[in-house]
Amino acid sequence: MKHLLSPLDLSVPEIDQLIAVAEDIEKNPKKYSHICDGKKLATCFYEPSTRTRLSFEAAMLNLGGSVLGFSSADSSSAAKGESVSDTARVIGCYADIIAMRHPKEGAPMVASLSSPVPIINAGDGGHQHPTQTLTDLLTIHAEKGRLSGLTIGLCGDLKFGRTVHSLITALARYENIRFFLISPDELRIPDFVREEVLEANHIPYKECDALDGALPKLDILYMTRVQKERFFNEEDYIRLKNHYILDSEKMKLAKEDMIVMHPLPRVNEISVDVDTDARAIYFKQAQYGVYIRMALIMKLLGLEA
């Protein structure tokens, strides 16, 4: 049985295969509409979510399956003190596959040790978010036509932004990737990504605070929100939350074919005047999240079209 806890749980050929299936799903959705007939997905979300939970549910419904679950810790037995291991063990009797989001780093991994069915990490604290990364890889592949030979700027909260950690980890396995890591000093990329991913794989990267200097060099700009819920001190959040605001004036510095991505939700870091720029693809990115999650559910359940 296979779980998806980190982006490295899938090999590069497996990711390429998922992307190929997702691209086929986009073109031929009918072909996939009964693959999961009779199967159930449980979404166990101990933290807020809009896209991840609902795109998982939409994915399972599109495949003909059904969904059950909870969307906050206080509406589950976690409020009574139940451990994630016990919860996963029990929900594994009700569902064929579980997508779990939790504020504690490593919680889905702990759940996977007792679960009788595959566990998908739908975001664990400030650590990893592998299915957002699959969404991002599909988006890049569909929009840029390749996953190698790219200069990617990641901007915002690189310290707590789990989507950033997972995306760097996944892209580090492709050829000729370069990163600009754009953040205020306090929100720089954590050591586990710098040392175990960037340095260990000799990936060229530059850390900087200013977005303007990096912008003209980028093929992809990946904006992120300052992760309010992970701050210990509200004053620090207030000071840092509007550090970057991408607007149509700044977009003039970017290449004509650069794409702007964002895992969403957006707060202030992208001004709404950028939404009409053809290079802004963050809403389309959310749509790609459904196709890739359909492909992932099929793979983890061992089902093919």
* Segment (H or E) for 54: helix 51-62
Q: What is the helix (H) or strand (E) element at residue 241, kind and residue range?
A: none
> Which residue lies nearest ligand NCD, judged by its C-beta?
263
Position among 123, 125, 130, 153 found at the interface with ligand NCD (CB under 6 A): 123
Report CA-CA distances (Å) from 14 to 7, 19, 84.
Answer: 11, 9, 28
By CB under 6 A, name the one of 51, 144, 178, 279 that touches ligand NCD: 51
**151, 163, 166, 169: residue in contact with ligand NCD (rule CB under 6 A):** 163
> Percentages helix, strand, coil for the chain, rounded to the nearest 5?
45, 15, 40
Q: For residue 187, which of 222, 157, 223, 142 has the smallest C-alpha distance?
A: 157
Q: Measured from the CB of residue 129, what is the shortest distance to ligand NCD in angstroms?
A: 5
The order of strands in the sheet holding 205-208 is 205-208, 177-182, 150-155, 220-223, 259-261
The only residue of 225, 241, 243, 299 in contact with ligand NCD, by rule CB under 6 A: 225
129 binding ligand NCD? (CB under 6 A): yes
- The type of residue at 17 is Q
Dihedral over alpha carbons 105, 108, 111, 115 (to 10 degrees): -170
State which H helix or E strand residue 149 sits in. none
Q: Pick out residues in 72-111 that bind ligand NCD (CB under 6 A).
A: none
What are the φ/ψ torsions at residue 95 (nearest 5 degrees)?
-135, 160
Interacting positions 257-276 with ligand NCD (CB under 6 A): 263-265
- Which H or E element spans position 213? helix 211-214
Residue closer to ligand NCD (CB basis): 47 or 92: 47
Rounded to a whole number of angstroms, the minimum distance from the CB of residue 175 to ligand NCD is 27
Between 35 and 260, whose beta carbon lies closer to ligand NCD?
A: 260
Minimum distance from residue 140 beta carbon to ligand NCD (Å): 16
Q: Which of 43, 52, 87, 224 is catalytic?
A: 52
Residue 80 appears among annotated catalytic residues: yes
Q: Among residues 2, 51, 178, 228, which one is catalytic?
A: 51
Q: Which of 6, 21, 43, 52 binds ligand NCD (CB under 6 A)?
A: 52
Is 133 a residue of the active site?
A: no
Residue (205 or 222) nearer to ligand NCD, CB: 222
Any contact of residue 162 with ligand NCD (CB under 6 A)? Answer: yes
Catalytic residue status for 225: no
Would residue 101 show up in a list of annotated catalytic residues for this protein?
Answer: yes
End-to-end CA distance of the chain: 20
Q: 């504020």: which residue's tokens?
A: 103
Q: Is the distance from CB of 81 to CB of 55 less than 8 angstroms?
A: no
Work out how close the CB of 131 gets to ligand NCD at its nearest, in angstroms, rounded to a whole number: 8
Q: Which of 284, 223, 283, 209 is nearest to 251 (CA)?
A: 223
Contact of 292 with 131, CB cutoff 8 Å: yes
**Is 130 a residue that touches ligand NCD (CB under 6 A)?**
no
The answer to whether 132 contacts ligand NCD (rule: CB under 6 A) is yes
241 catalytic per annotation: no
Q: Contact residues for ligand NCD (CB under 6 A)?
A: 51-52, 123, 129, 132, 162-163, 225, 263-265
Active site residues: 51-52, 80, 101, 129
